[in-house]
Structure 1
């Protein structure tokens, strides 16, 4: 692996930046607040003895719902060893703390909490790339929740993206949090594997997003075209 200054457009910098993206979503994400990489401005990598490889990055992130852009400094340490743990990420970006979606989150929470029937949806997006507007918050919640998996599974040899929410089912709960079962499809753009995961998601505006992950349900191999499963 290259050390020193990195080309921000090449895989090493992009993989480290993607780990930062997932970290930010796990910390700040909600059905109305989802972060994606806008641009990697610069990157540097160095070997840290036997600990692993540390990346220092300057990145701009886009919050895709408000279409706002935020520049952050980040460090990512990919551990070294036979059993690789999750990357260690730290981010300096005070702007993330100022994004307030409480009003939208609370409105969605009350709508779902008071429904007479539980929400059930499949194939977000569908084969034509369409998502019903009422289902978009659940699609965004799936993106945020999938970041918990992708952060945990990320290494210097992976580059994950969420391809689709296969299905989502709202569950009855006696707590204040809403609860959902999700089946999601993750695409590793390096190996071209499509991986199916089952998640149980608890969410409320007060408590944020919490995720319980089941083992991989299946491993599928596919050809992919522009991020869409064929």
Structure 2
């Protein structure tokens, strides 16, 4: 074979092997590189290679990091599942929060549910667009207060406004629902009275009560005339998510498995919904029964919320919002 030329770097070694095809073949390359490195080590004393990791964004690598915008996790039935990389999370931060990490995102998501319970309708649905800043502090009575600056989007009209909000979580064995205050005056001025009244009259005068299943379907599709029922399901499910949310949860509405219109009572449209919620932390799909009424004047009034037993045979929807 002959002697090797004097090679002074690892790069030259590799170049030599790749360029000397008359003497070496790919199948024996690895073994011969080892031999050369051993020779070089004996000549020069040592050969060390330092591999430095490529710098990356802290937020992208953090197990509590989440997408920032509605576009990255679309609201109506197309959101990707947010999977945590670690089973255990960091201890809740105090003081200024990273807007992209779970503590701030969870508190902001509760504001979304609050706005839907107060102001939502079949033609007005609110979604979290972005968290701009957040601050957390422990307060009296084992409670924890989050102060947030966020962007909220009215999804149907595609209108986005900045909002200031405060979320107060309770702690301990008997946790109460989160208390929320939010200032989003511009969003609340959106006028949907005409559409709501038309929907109300149409369903109030129905001779045959409406029903539907799988909104959206497994392809993420919803028939146009069923979208108000889907929107109404989002609004009504926010009552559940607001009631169930803690610092350790992150809920999204996944699907309306079934909806049935019931006879109108006291000028209120009445509905029976079977809702699938996606709890992002545990990755569970949770089934709930919702019985509620709605009218343009009164909004959603929940009559019954019941968590259903885990359904092993039920189809799990990949879509969340």
TM-score, with structure 1 as normaliser: 0.95
What is the Cα deviation at residue 174 of structure 1? Answer: 3.7
On the 8 A contact 2:204/2:264 being kept in 1, the answer is no
**Greater CA drift, 166-175 or 136-145:** 166-175
Q: Work out the CA distance in 2 between the residues paired with 1:40 and 1:128.
A: 30
On the 8 A contact 1:192/1:223 being kept in 2, the answer is no
Deviations 1:2-41 (A, max 9, x none): 1011010100000000110000000110000000001100
Change (3 A) 1:224 1:17: farther
Give aligned pairs, total.
228
Query: In the alignment, which residue of structure 2 is the partner of 1:36?
Result: 127
Of 63, 70, 73, 2:161 maps to 70
Query: In the alignment, which residue of structure 1 is the partner of 2:109?
Result: 18
Change (3 A) 1:224 1:168: closer
Q: Work out the CA distance in 1 between the residues paired with 2:274 and 2:315.
A: 20
**Greater CA drift, 93-102 or 144-153:** 93-102
On the 8 A contact 1:192/1:224 being kept in 2, the answer is no
Query: In the alignment, which residue of structure 2 is the partner of 1:189?
Result: 280
Q: Work out the CA distance in 2 between the residues paired with 1:172 and 1:24.
A: 28
Q: CA RMSD in A?
A: 1.7
Query: In the alignment, which residue of structure 1 is the partner of 2:142?
Result: 51
Deviations 1:179-222 (A, max 9, x none): 01000000000001111000012001111111123321123589
Q: Work out the CA distance in 2 between the residues paired with 1:224 and 1:56.
A: 35
What is the Cα deviation at residue 175 of structure 1? Answer: 1.6
**Greater CA drift, 31-40 or 171-180:** 171-180
Query: In the alignment, which residue of structure 1 is the partner of 2:305?
Result: 214
What is the Cα deviation at residue 163 of structure 1? Answer: 0.3
Query: In the alignment, which residue of structure 2 is the partner of 1:158?
Result: 249
Q: Work out the CA distance in 2 between the residues paired with 1:219 and 1:14.
A: 27
Q: What SS does the corresponding residue of 2:310 show, helix, strand or coil?
A: strand
Query: In the alignment, which residue of structure 2 is the partner of 1:143?
Result: 234
1:71-90 aligned within 5 A: 71-90=162-181
Of 213, 233, 236, 1:122 maps to 213
Query: In the alignment, which residue of structure 2 is the partner of 1:111?
Result: 202
Q: What SS does the corresponding residue of 1:16 show, helix, strand or coil?
A: helix
Change (3 A) 1:174 1:43: closer
TM-score, with structure 2 as normaliser: 0.68
Alignment gaps of 5+ in structure 1: none
Deviations 1:96-129 (A, max 9, x none): 3311100000011111111221001000001111
Q: Work out the CA distance in 2 between the residues paired with 1:69 and 1:184.
A: 27
Q: Work out the CA distance in 2 between the residues paired with 1:225 and 1:177.
A: 31
Q: Work out the CA distance in 1 between the residues paired with 2:216 and 2:165.
A: 31
On the 8 A contact 1:194/1:220 being kept in 2, the answer is no
Q: Work out the CA distance in 1 between the residues paired with 2:166 and 2:122.
A: 26
**Greater CA drift, 208-217 or 171-180:** 208-217
